[in-house]
Amino acid sequence: MTGSHAPVIETAGGIVWRERGGELQVQLVHRPRYDDWSWPKGKLDEGESHQAAAAREIAEETGKPVILGRPLPGLQYLTPEGRVKRVRYWAARKARRSVDGYALAARAPVADQDEAEINGVEWLDTEKAAKRLTRETDRAPLDALVAAHEAGELATRVLVIARHGRALPRTVWHGGERDRPLTPVGHAQAAALVPVLAGYGVETVISSRWERCAATIEPYIRASGQRPAFSESLSEAQHERSPSRVAAAVLTLLDDGAALLCTHRPVLPTVLDVLGQHAPRSVADSLPSDDPYLEPGEALVAHVVDTPDGPRVVAAEKVGPPLY
């Protein structure tokens, strides 16, 4: 099979960062097979999302679990065999075991480092890191990370907006609307969200009480040991009566730590409107604007920073369960 017809090799990773003595530092890894210094990354496992793969690969190659932050520019290039490799990157920070919101990622088992794969991990300030990098193209995500840091937009938290997983069609369900359940695909979509939410360090979960939303958050609740909050305001019926209550809930979550809000398609326009009001034009314009806004089981990750004027959404990305 020629490179032009071979499937794209999908990989994911990130730049782990910290501040020391007022200086921004980043973590590079050395791969003996290629004798190069680069960012931790690796191939997606079958059925794995880019975000889950990024968190897993960074943890495996640096030896410590991480929490993903804002997305960074990715790369695409040809391998020596002539195949196309695509890399997606995120900013990342080490998970802190003492903080509840990082508990799930911090508890996640990390495979022992394979010295045949990685035989060096080093913290460097950004100028030294730029010089140490073997490939010039690897500087693009570093430049974006430095720019975000200088703008005060690197230390982000997330507000994840999830639409419930695929539910049984109304035409074949004979019970009440609030009790309409997920299909087997919907349950699989809910399970696929667990490593994604863990990768972002989600520490607060609020959801509609209706069964299809409650079942969507259940796998993450079980995995993380958290206690969810349920709100009638996030149901379709209550939203129709009072959209302002949904808007108030979103505003509260924007001020909180890393959070997940699970709701229904008719509620999404109100949620997205609040996010857009707290985002620069470039980010607001990138938010979903056409019905159905999010597909069943899909999520929108809003990356939020605190400013003197209140919370601000500085980046947003969609996460689709790798089941489509």
Give the pLDDT confidence of 4-49 residue by residue, as tens digits. Answer: 567 899 999 999 999 998 899 999 999 898 889 999 999 999 889 9
Verify that 120 and 13 share a domain, yes or no: yes
Verify that 132 and 161 share a domain, yes or no: no
Last residue of a domain, one of 116, 150, 184: 150
Q: Over the chain (324 residues), what is each successive 10-residue block's mean pLDDT?
A: 68 97 95 90 93 95 95 91 93 72 50 69 97 95 98 97 96 93 97 95 96 97 94 92 95 92 97 98 97 96 96 96 60
Give the pLDDT confidence of 146-163 residue by residue, as tens digits. Answer: 999 999 999 999 999 999
Q: What pLDDT is stored for residue 2 in this prediction?
A: 45
Half-sphere exposure at residue 252, Cβ-oriented, CA atoms within 13 angstroms: 11
What is the CATH classification number for the domain harbouring 79?
3.90.79.10
Verify that 260 and 113 share a domain, yes or no: no
Total number of domains in the chain: 2
Q: What pLDDT is stored for residue 213 in this prediction?
A: 98
**In-domain check, residue 324:** no
Q: Tell me whether strands 259-263 and 157-163 are parallel, antiparallel or unpaired.
A: parallel
Residues 161 and 220: their CA atoms lie apart, in Å, by 14
DSSP conformation class of 261: E
**In-domain check, residue 253:** yes
Residues 70 and 305: their CA atoms lie apart, in Å, by 10
- The domain containing residue 224 runs over which residues? 157-319
Verify that 202 and 246 share a domain, yes or no: yes
Q: What pLDDT is stored for residue 176 in this prediction?
A: 92
What is the CATH classification number for the domain harbouring 172?
3.40.50.1240
Verify that 165 and 307 share a domain, yes or no: yes
Last residue of a domain, one of 89, 123, 150: 150
Q: What pLDDT is stored for residue 33 in this prediction?
A: 85
Verify that 222 and 258 share a domain, yes or no: yes
Verify that 178 and 140 share a domain, yes or no: no
Q: What pLDDT is stored for residue 115 in this prediction?
A: 62
Q: How many angstroms separate the Cα of 230 from the Cα of each of 14, 217, 233?
A: 34, 11, 9
> The tokens 């695929």 sit on which residue?
166
Verify that 79 and 192 share a domain, yes or no: no
